[in-house]
């Protein structure tokens, strides 16, 4: 029950959000944050069961034929993740209330945030992998809506589009991977899934799942969408694009570790991707000047560390990953909120314009310093423990990994200094003069979340026993012992060196920024691919839909002929020569008449000869019907033909004479026509030479008199056996007659009322 409520509460609140915002006004964000807090408490209540090893589960049939069950399972890692989501969610809701103030979009933004929270909790506690996928896609979608909140701004729309496309492509890949996994494992539930590493399809599933995880967690080469997503309002960036959603990829990889972790490709793929992402971040940070861009890059770097740690996959690295995940949420969330508060106060996020805010905004700055220290990794912060263990695990795997993490840690120092020290203590700028402290609703969440980093840092025993240990255990890995201090060792040395060199880099930041090469911008590459695809589509359409009906028709018949002829050639359908030889002489003469008049019709240069030739052809057809023992047909054809010629002559009086098109095009038309003629001849001959099935005509012949009480079988078929066809035919004729009446009649009316309308080539509507 509690487990379902953790999903139901945010969904229900999200549904009522726009209405509630209008009714409750400023109280609404408080209600929303209270809802998030309730979810947090519920999750805490479920934690003991999970730690003891019998997590709460929910199973409801949804689409059993497809293996989709509404299956939830709150194991320790899931609860760990969901606690972060709802905890930070509480802070974000409260903060958003202050940040957005009376902004009319507050209702929808909080609504989407709540829906996102539900989706993210769904990802965390889903047991059925298809259910996980649905939640996963839901996070992508809500992220799109939230980035595009400011939809009048073009850059917001571009950022939202990029984020959606990248994560949705990843999502599709993920679905493929999950389906492979589920089908091959024979179960759709994560908790029942065996280790699959020696299955032949495991590599394919792994590659697809990696695509999903890397796009979501902004790993190389998909990193570019995350800085673009920073167009979103700051609470959104803090929540989705640093603390929670981007961690979904990491979360998924961690979940997959016990299934695919033994795959030979697992470690190299993840570690190399992580390393490439880290290098990208290291190169990008020195040039960044926007507070949120700086934080976004460091987020990408932190995610890379986690991906790398999962890739290494040892007990120590998995433990380090879980600690890092928690520590990152506890410092990056508040840092974003601090950046948001600064932006809120002075309306700028450019570090070149900020400075001297320490006196004006003491609480914000102190919070920022605490979070920043955790990010830099100064004892006794949680960030310190996380970095120590990450370095240690990296060291055990390969020294170069530890080296890379050290350089990345330097970049983190640079980011922290840029984001906190420059705005707080830098040279006072004019912007600072009207700065003001953020309201309580914004300050409280920042302070609470960032101080968690300190509290958990000084109590590693608590952390190990109730939070990290059980979470790691539920990933089927043995947790290692956590402590704040474990003597003078190499990780500590590297960590100290990183802080020292990072400080030096900050001091010489201008020179460093000039030294770092400008990277080819990810969004620009994305745009090039995007525009290329759209342009290609437009060109294809222009070639295919060139507006010439003749061209369309020609294409259709040529394709049809080529297909038919190729079937004829491939199947080597025989043509019975006897059929051709046995044709009576009278048929040959009639056929010649028909053929000649058809050609004359086609090539006639004037209207009247063409109609006459058509009439002649009709007569030829009539004769042929007569010769083929079909008197009814001959009779009908004869009458229809006379009528046709009459109406054509009447009609043609109103239509202009032929105009001869250029020769050049005519050759093409003749070629197409000859091709069609050849194909049809061949088809007829083939049809004559084969008997696929017994004809059903015999039944009609046998029953016409007994059941239909008529001697003329054709008539009986028309009015009795296939009476409905004839009925339909009458309707068609009726509609055609009506149509003709309307088309011709309305013109006469038009002529009466508006004669000049018809004389010119004008198309203006009639008044």
Partner 1 sequence: MSIAIGICYASAVYLLLQRRLLQVLLGIALLGHATNLLILVASGLRGTEVPIIAEGAATLSAHAADPLPQAFILTAIVIGFALLGFALALAYRCMRVLGHDDIDELNNTDRLDEVGH
Structure tokens at 754: 């508006």
Cα 254 to Cα 84, 258, 332, 333, 649, distances in angstroms: 16, 8, 21, 22, 81
Q: Is-contact 141 506, C-beta < 8 A?
A: no
By CB under 8 A, tell whether 723 contacts partner 1: no
Q: Binding partner 1 by CB under 8 A: which of 96, 610, 612, 616? A: 610
From the CB of residue 680, how many other CB atoms can be counted at a distance below 10 Å?
Answer: 12
Q: Restricting to residues 89-128, which ones interact with partner 1 according to CB under 8 A? A: none
Q: Is-contact 146 232, C-beta < 8 A?
A: yes
Q: Restricting to residues 484-543, which ones interact with partner 1 according to CB under 8 A? A: 538, 541-542
Q: Restricting to residues 613-652, which ones interact with partner 1 according to CB under 8 A? A: 614, 617-618, 621, 624-625, 628-633, 636-637, 640, 643-644, 647-648, 651-652
Peptide bond into 45 cis (omega under 30): no
Q: Could you please report the per-residue DSSP string of 426-465?
A: S---GGGGG--PPPHHHHHHHHHHHHHHHHHHH-HHHIII
User: Candidates 214-222, 258-266, 415-423, 604-612 — which segment interacts with partner 1 by CB under 8 A?
Assistant: 604-612
508 DSSP assignment:
T
Least Å from the CB of residue 664 to partner 1: 14
By CB under 8 A, tell whether 695 contacts partner 1: yes
Cα 392 to Cα 332, 406, 685, distances in angstroms: 22, 11, 81
By CB under 8 A, tell whether 589 contacts partner 1: no
Q: Binding partner 1 by CB under 8 A: which of 65, 510, 706, 767? A: 706
| Cβ within 8 Å of residue 707, ≥6 positions away | 720
Q: CA 244, CA 554: separation in Å to the nearest integer?
A: 57
Closest CA to 80 of 211, 212, 244: 244
* # chain residues binding partner 1, by CB under 8 A: 105
User: Candidates 72-80, 154-162, 240-248, 683-691 — which segment interacts with partner 1 by CB under 8 A?
Assistant: 683-691
By CB under 8 A, tell whether 739 contacts partner 1: yes
Tell me, residue by residue from 743 to 762, as one string, x for binding to partner 1 by CB under 8 A and - for no binding: xx-xx----------x-xx-
By CB under 8 A, tell whether 722 contacts partner 1: yes
User: Candidates 36-44, 260-268, 409-417, 719-727 — which segment interacts with partner 1 by CB under 8 A?
Assistant: 719-727
User: Candidates 26-34, 121-129, 447-455, 722-730 — which segment interacts with partner 1 by CB under 8 A?
Assistant: 722-730
Which contiguous run of DSSP H or E holds residue 58? Answer: strand 56-63
Cα 612 to Cα 407, 616, 640, distances in angstroms: 91, 6, 14
User: Candidates 232-240, 344-352, 438-446, 549-557 — which segment interacts with partner 1 by CB under 8 A?
Assistant: 549-557
By CB under 8 A, tell whether 576 contacts partner 1: no
Between 323 and 616, name the residue whose CB sits nearer to partner 1. Answer: 616
Q: Binding partner 1 by CB under 8 A: which of 102, 152, 654, 753? A: 654
By CB under 8 A, tell whether 684 contacts partner 1: yes
Backbone angles phi, psi at 436, to 5 degrees: -145, 155
Q: CA 484, CA 372: separation in Å to the nearest integer?
A: 18
Least Å from the CB of residue 157 to partner 1: 23
From the CB of residue 201, how many other CB atoms can be counted at a distance below 10 Å?
Answer: 14
Q: Binding partner 1 by CB under 8 A: which of 521, 533, 550, 754? A: 550
User: Candidates 19-27, 238-246, 564-572, 681-689 — which segment interacts with partner 1 by CB under 8 A?
Assistant: 681-689
Between 468 and 704, name the residue whose CB sits nearer to partner 1. Answer: 704
Between 496 and 712, name the residue whose CB sits nearer to partner 1. Answer: 712
Q: Binding partner 1 by CB under 8 A: which of 8, 519, 562, 595? A: 595
User: Candidates 80-88, 288-296, 427-435, 546-554 — which segment interacts with partner 1 by CB under 8 A?
Assistant: 546-554
Q: Binding partner 1 by CB under 8 A: which of 52, 674, 707, 754? A: 674
Between 232 and 613, name the residue whose CB sits nearer to partner 1. Answer: 613
Between 191 and 690, name the residue whose CB sits nearer to partner 1. Answer: 690
Least Å from the CB of residue 702 to partner 1: 5
By CB under 8 A, tell whether 673 contacts partner 1: yes
Long-range contacts of the stretch 157-164 (C-beta < 8 A, 24+) = 158/228, 158/523, 159/225, 159/228, 159/229, 159/230, 159/231, 159/232, 160/229, 160/231, 162/224, 162/225, 162/228, 162/229, 162/523, 162/526, 163/225, 163/226, 163/228, 163/229, 164/140
User: Candidates 75-83, 143-151, 479-487, 597-605 — which segment interacts with partner 1 by CB under 8 A?
Assistant: 597-605
Tell me, residue by residue from 202 to 241, as one string, x for binding to partner 1 by CB under 8 A and - for no binding: ----------------------------------------
Q: Is-contact 611 648, C-beta < 8 A?
A: yes
Q: Binding partner 1 by CB under 8 A: which of 8, 19, 592, 608? A: 592
Q: Restricting to residues 308-367, which ones interact with partner 1 according to CB under 8 A? A: none
Between 203 and 564, name the residue whose CB sits nearer to partner 1. Answer: 564
Q: CA 764, CA 205: separation in Å to the nearest integer?
A: 61
User: Candidates 107-115, 312-320, 433-441, 550-558 — which segment interacts with partner 1 by CB under 8 A?
Assistant: 550-558
| Cβ within 8 Å of residue 30, ≥6 positions away | 94, 97, 441
Tell me which residue has tokens 């507006």. 547
Largest alpha-carbon pair distance within the chain?
A: 113
630 DSSP assignment:
-
| Cβ within 8 Å of residue 386, ≥6 positions away | 320, 323, 324, 326, 327, 328, 377
From the CB of residue 142, how many other CB atoms can be counted at a distance below 10 Å?
Answer: 24
Between 264 and 760, name the residue whose CB sits nearer to partner 1. Answer: 760
Least Å from the CB of residue 528 to partner 1: 22
Least Å from the CB of residue 158 to partner 1: 24
């Amino acid at each position: 029950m509690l487990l379902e409520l953790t999903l139901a509460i945010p969904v229900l609140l999200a549904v009522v959000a726009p209405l509630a915002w209008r009714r409750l006004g400023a109280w609404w964000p408080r209600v929303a944050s209270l809802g998030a807090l309730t979810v947090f408490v519920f999750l805490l209540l479920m934690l003991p069961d999970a730690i003891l090893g019998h997590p709460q589960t929910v199973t409801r049939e949804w689409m059993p034929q497809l293996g989709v069950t509404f299956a939830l399972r709150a194991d320790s890692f899931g609860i760990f993740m969901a606690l972060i989501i709802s905890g930070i969610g509480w802070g974000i809701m409260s903060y958003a209330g202050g940040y957005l103030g009376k902004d009319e979009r507050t209702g929808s933004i909080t609504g989407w945030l709540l829906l996102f929270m539900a989706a993210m909790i769904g990802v965390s506690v889903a047991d059925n992998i298809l259910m996980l996928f649905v939640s996963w896609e839901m996070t992508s979608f809500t992220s799109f809506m939230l980035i595009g909140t400011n939809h009048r701004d073009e850059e917001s729309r571009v950022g939202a589009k990029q984020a959606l496309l990248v994560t949705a492509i990843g999502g599709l890949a993920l679905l493929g991977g999950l389906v492979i996994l589920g089908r091959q494992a024979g179960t759709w539930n994560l908790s029942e899934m065996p280790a699959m590493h020696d299955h032949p399809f495991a590599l394919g599933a792994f590659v697809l799942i990696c695509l999903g995880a890397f796009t979501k967690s902004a790993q190389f080469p998909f990193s570019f969408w995350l800085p673009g997503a920073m167009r979103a309002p700051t609470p959104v960036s803090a929540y989705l694009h640093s603390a929670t959603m981007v961690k979904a990829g990491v979360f998924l990889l961690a979940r997959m570790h016990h299934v695919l972790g033994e795959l030979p490709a697992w470690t190299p793929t993840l570690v190399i991707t992580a390393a490439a992402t880290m290098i990208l971040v290291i190169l990008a940070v020195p040039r960044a000047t926007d507070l949120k861009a700086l934080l976004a890059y460091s987020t990408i770097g932190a995610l890379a560390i986690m991906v790398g740690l999962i890739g290494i996959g040892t007990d120590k690295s998995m433990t380090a990953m879980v600690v890092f995940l928690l520590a990152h949420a506890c410092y990056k969330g508040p840092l974003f909120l601090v950046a948001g508060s600064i932006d809120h106060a002075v309306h700028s996020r450019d570090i070149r314009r900020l400075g001297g805010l320490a006196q004006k905004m003491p609480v914000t700055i102190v919070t920022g310093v605490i979070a920043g220290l955790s990010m830099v990794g100064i004892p006794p912060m949680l960030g310190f423990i996380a970095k120590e263990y990450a370095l240690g695990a990296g060291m055990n795997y390969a020294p170069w990994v530890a080296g890379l993490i050290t350089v990345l840690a330097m970049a983190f120092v640079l980011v922290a200094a840029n984001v906190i020290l420059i705005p707080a203590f830098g040279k006072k700028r004019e912007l600072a003069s009207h700065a003001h402290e953020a309201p309580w609703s914004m300050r409280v969440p920042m302070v609470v979340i960032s101080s968690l980093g300190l509290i958990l840092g000084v109590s590693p025993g608590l952390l190990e026993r109730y939070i990290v240990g059980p979470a790691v255990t539920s990933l089927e890995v043995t947790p290692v012992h956590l402590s704040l201090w474990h003597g003078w060792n190499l990780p500590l040395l590297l960590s100290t060196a990183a802080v020292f060199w990072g400080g030096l880099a900050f001091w010489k930041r201008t020179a460093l920024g000039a030294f770092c090469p400008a990277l080819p911008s990810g969004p620009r590459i994305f745009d090039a691919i995007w525009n290329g695809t759209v342009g290609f589509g437009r060109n294809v359409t222009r070639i295919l839909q060139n507006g010439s009906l003749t061209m369309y028709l020609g294409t259709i018949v040529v394709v049809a002929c080529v297909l038919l002829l190729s079937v004829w050639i491939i199947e080597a359908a025989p043509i019975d020569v006897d059929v051709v030889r046995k044709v009576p002489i009278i048929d040959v003469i009639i056929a010649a008449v028909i053929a000649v008049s058809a050609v004359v019709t086609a090539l006639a240069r004037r209207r009247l000869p063409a109609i006459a030739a058509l009439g002649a052809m009709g007569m030829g057809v009539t004769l042929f019907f007569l010769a083929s023992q079909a008197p009814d047909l001959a009779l009908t054809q004869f009458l229809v033909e006379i009528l046709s010629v009459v109406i054509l002559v009447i009609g043609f009086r109103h239509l202009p004479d032929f105009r001869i098109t250029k020769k050049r095009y005519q050759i093409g038309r003749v070629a197409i026509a000859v091709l069609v003629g050849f194909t049809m001849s061949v088809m007829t001959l083939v049809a004559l030479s084969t008997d696929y099935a017994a004809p059903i005509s015999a039944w009609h012949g046998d029953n016409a008199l007994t059941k239909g009480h008529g001697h003329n079988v054709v008539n009986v078929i028309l009015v009795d056996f296939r009476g409905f066809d004839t009925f339909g035919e009458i309707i068609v004729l009726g509609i055609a007659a009506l149509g003709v009446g309307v088309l011709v009649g309305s013109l006469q009316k038009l002529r009466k009322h508006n004669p000049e309308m018809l004389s010119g080539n004008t198309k203006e509507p009639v008044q």
